[in-house]
Amino acid sequence: MWILDSLAPMEKLVDRSSYGVVHVWDSYIWLVGTKDENQRLKQENDQLHMQMAADHEAVLEAQRVRGLNGLQESGIGKTLVARVIGRDAGRNQTVTIDKGRAHGVKPDSAIITASGVVGRVIQSSNFFSIVQLITDSQSAVGVLLESTRGQGIVKGNGGRDLDLDYIYDDNDLKPGDKFLTSGMDKVYPKGLPLGTILTVADRRVGGLIKSVQVRPAADIGRLETVLCVIERAENIDFGDSFQGPVAP
C-alpha cells in the first residue's frame, strides 16, 4: 500500500504529461492539415475567379466581334477585324493594331468600330500598323451634316473632342446634330457616324464665325477591337440606315 501510494501520483503525472504531449501533437498536426487545406481551397478559389474573369472577357470580346461582323455585312467594303495592342503613352493620339501589310492593311486604310470612325493607318509593317486617331491635331475628316447634307471638315484638337474646321453654311448648326463622313477625303467610306455637336458658340462679335465642338461617335479612349477597311466600297451612303450596335 505504501509503494502504491508513493508511485501512483508519479504515474498519474506521467500519464497526464503524455496525454498533454499527444493532445498538443494531434492538435498541431490537425492545424497543419487545416492550414494546407485552406491554402488549397484558396488557390482553387483564386483559379475560379480568374477563370470567371476570363470567361467574362471572352463574352465581351464575342459581343464586340459580333457587332463588327454585322458592320462587315453592311456593304462597307472589304474589311478585317483587328485588335488594339498598344497606345501612344506620350500624346495618346495613336494606337497600334495587330494587322499589317501581310493582311492587306496599308497606309490610309480606314479604321472604324460599330459606333463610328476611329482613324486611319499612317504606318504599317508586315504584321502591325499604327493608327492616327481622329482626335489627333493633325487629323482631318471630310463630313456632311446629317440633317442638311451640308459638307465640311472636322479636325482633331489633341483632346477628347473634335473641332469643326469648315462648313459651307453654319447657320443651322445646333447641339445634337450629327456629322457623317462625306467620303470626299478618299479615306473613309461615305455615311459613317463621325460625331455629334456638343456646343456651338460665336467666335467673333456678330456671329460671323462659329466655334463648333464635336464629340466623336466612337469611344476613342476605350478601343479594344476595331475594323480595318482594306478595300473601300465606292459611292455607298449609309446615312440613317447605319445602325451598327455600339460596342461595349
pLDDT in tens, the chain (248 residues): 666 456 555 555 555 555 555 565 566 666 666 767 777 777 777 676 666 655 555 555 555 555 555 555 556 778 889 999 998 877 679 999 999 999 999 999 999 998 999 999 999 999 999 999 999 999 999 999 998 888 999 999 999 999 999 887 777 789 999 999 998 988 998 889 999 999 998 766 555 577 899 999 999 988 999 999 988 765 444 444 444 433 33
Q: Please write down the HEC assignment for all residues of 210-238.
A: EEEEEEECCCHHHCCEEEEEEEECCCCCC
| Residue 183 falls in which region: left (phi positive, over 0), alpha (psi -120 to 50) or beta | left
- What's the confidence (pLDDT) of residue 196? 96
- What's the confidence (pLDDT) of residue 220? 92
Distance of CA 234 to the CA centre of its chain: 29
**What are φ and ψ of residue 58, in 5° steps?**
-65, -40
- What's the confidence (pLDDT) of residue 242? 45
Which amino acid would we find at residue 42?
Answer: K
CB-based contacts of 151, cutoff 8 Å, min separation 6: 142, 143, 144, 145, 167, 168, 182, 184
- What's the confidence (pLDDT) of residue 41? 76
- What's the confidence (pLDDT) of residue 247? 33
- For residue 227, give the nearest of 76, 111, 115, 133 by alpha carbon: 111
The structure's pTM equals 0.66
- What's the confidence (pLDDT) of residue 100? 94
